[in-house]
Structure 1
Amino acid sequence: MGRAFEYRKAAKMKRWAGMAKAFTKVGREINIAIREGGADPDYNPRLRLAINNAKAVNMPKANVDAAIKRATDKDTSNYEEVTFEGYGPHGIAVFVEATTDNNNRTVANIRHAFSKYGGSLGVNGSVDYMFERKGQFIVKAEDLAGKDLESLEFELIDVGLDSMEADEEEVIFYTSFEDFAAFGPAMERLGIKVSKAELVRIPSHTKKLSDSEVEDFLKLIDKLEEDDDVANVFHTMDESE
């Protein structure tokens, strides 16, 4: 009984930590969006997406409003977007996106993670060419009930759709980097509810690892993703079964 209680407690703490991390990420997205395009979501597509992403992670409206208020406060530190490139153990390329108000801290933390877990931090451009930057829009399958996906695909091609993936739970729409900003409003006009939208980096090729090598590599990924400054981590490890 005691062991079961400790397990449930640990699982609950892990969920809370994950939720706090998601809220921090969205808060920084809001900060950057407002700095770039103002505090009115009607005229700032990036802010609309950030607010939508806040809903996707169940961030309370009060938290969203507080994040917007902080972002419009001139005395509040502004965050900047920074990237890091390098290799993890077993030759897997890693691309890290971060948002920070203290670049020295972030650089030190990222460098330490790579060094401790068998990787090496490289210079800008060292692995960037291995990834294609795309817009990703995720829609719950239930929110597309009654729609003909083939007809919808043809309709969305006219507004920038590159490709589409569907399973029983969700449909993922991909756009080019250049079409990302305009695609969200186009989905809104069609009455399609997007549960999450973000820019992703898709590897042009991947490398298969053994089970033990995967375990080594994931130690680095887990350490990077634990850092509050890290927004996204992309890599070239083959994740297929």
Structure 2
Amino acid sequence: MAGHSKWANIQHRKGKQDKARSKVFSKLAKEITVAAKMGMPDVDMNPRLRLAVKAAKAVSMPKDVIDRAIKKSQMGDGNDYTEIRYEGYGAGGIAIMVEAMTDNLNRTASAVRSYFSKFGGNMGQTGSVSHGFDRLGEISYPASAGSADDIMMAALDAGADDVESDEDGHWIYCAVENLNEVSDALEKALGESLESKLIWKAQVLTEVDLETATKLMKLIDMLEEDDDVQTVTHNFDMSDEVAEQLA
């Protein structure tokens, strides 16, 4: 599997502080409402809702906001959202996948296409880049949770498939269908995780120079600022030197 990218480490260090709190809450609330609408409004009976609520708690979303988002699903809200994935290439031919949740497909597609074009990229067809990524469950822990060896042992005992550790933390990977089970087992062994979510993980990372990394970061920032965009995934990495200049 591809190593944990320097860009991912920069994101980890910067955390959610660089994003408007209200925007983060808004996107998470949308996911909670849709998850509750598609399944059941009970986290114990709805795995997707459980993950969404956990993600909300990880960024300290107030309980009443979470409860309100769940109640919305029972009032008819969340009916009109369509989940869609856009695929394309950024500067340097870097593969980028954008997962969105929208009530207006034309608006979202037009916006995403314009972001790619603005920073030297272009949209591709569905499947044009996703073949280079694996769909996995990811559970993250801070570096203070234990040594790399201890985390590896706990992860394997919990049924995980792989672990990546560095000075910033630990990332544990498992099959999509095992995410909740593995997460529960890890919480018993290591305590509550930082995050537990489904991700697209690049099979191979491509290292980029400072100029390309700067363009890619601007594109990613603009995509993530869009209210309809839920996640952005890519396959680029960078040297320690470039990472330090961007951090």
Pairwise TM-score range, normalised by the shorter structure: 0.7 to 0.9
SS of 2:206's equivalent in the other structure is coil
What displacement does 1:143 show? 5.4
Q: How big is the shift at 1:148? A: 4.3
TM-score of the pair, normalised by structure 2 = 0.80
Q: Partner of 1:24 in structure 2?
A: 26
Match of 1:84 among 79, 83, 86: 86
SS in 2 for 1:41: coil
Q: Which residue of 1 aligns with 2:108?
A: 106
Identity of counterpart residues, as a percentage? 38
Deviates more, 1:136-145 or 1:34-43: 136-145
In structure 1, the residue matched to 2:124 is 122
Tell me if the contact between 1:33 and 1:47 (Cα under 8 Å) persists in the aligned partners: yes
Q: Identify if the C-alpha distance between structure 1 residues 92 and 199 changes in structure 2 by more than 3 Å, giving closer, same or farther.
A: same
Structure 1: 5+ residue stretches without partners: 1-13
Post-superposition offset of 1:190: 5.1
Task: Name the structure 2 match of 1:132.
Answer: 134
In the other structure, the counterpart of 1:6 is: none
Q: How many residues align?
A: 224
Match in the other structure for 2:97: 95
Q: What is the alpha-carbon root mean square deviation over aligned residues?
A: 2.5
**Inter-CA distance 182–35: structure 2 relative to 1 (3 Å threshold):** farther
User: Is 1:172 aligned to 2:174, yes or no?
Assistant: no
User: Cα distance, 1:23 vs. partner?
Assistant: 0.7
Question: Structure 1's 208 and 166: CA in aligned 2 closer, same or farther, altered over 3 A?
Answer: closer
Q: Distance in 1 between matches of 2:89 and 2:78?
A: 35
1:30 Cα shift? 0.7
SS in 2 for 1:194: coil
- State the Cα distance separating 1:208 from its structure 2 match: 2.1
Instruction: Find 1:33's aligned residue among 35, 43, 55.
Output: 35
- Decide whether aligned partners of structure 1 residues 212 and 191 sit closer, same or farther in structure 2, where only a CA change above 3 A counts: closer
Structure showing greater radius of gyration is 1
Partner-residue secondary structure (3-state), 1:59: coil
1:59-84 Cα shifts (integer Å, max 9, x gaps): 11111111111122125544232100
Shift of 1:196: 1.1
Ranges in structure 2 where 5+ consecutive residues have no aligned partner: 1-15, 241-247
> Partners in 1 of 2:93 and 2:62 — Cα distance?
41
Confirm whether residue 239 of structure 1 aligns to residue 238 of structure 2.
yes
Which residue of the partner structure matches residue 196 of structure 1? 195
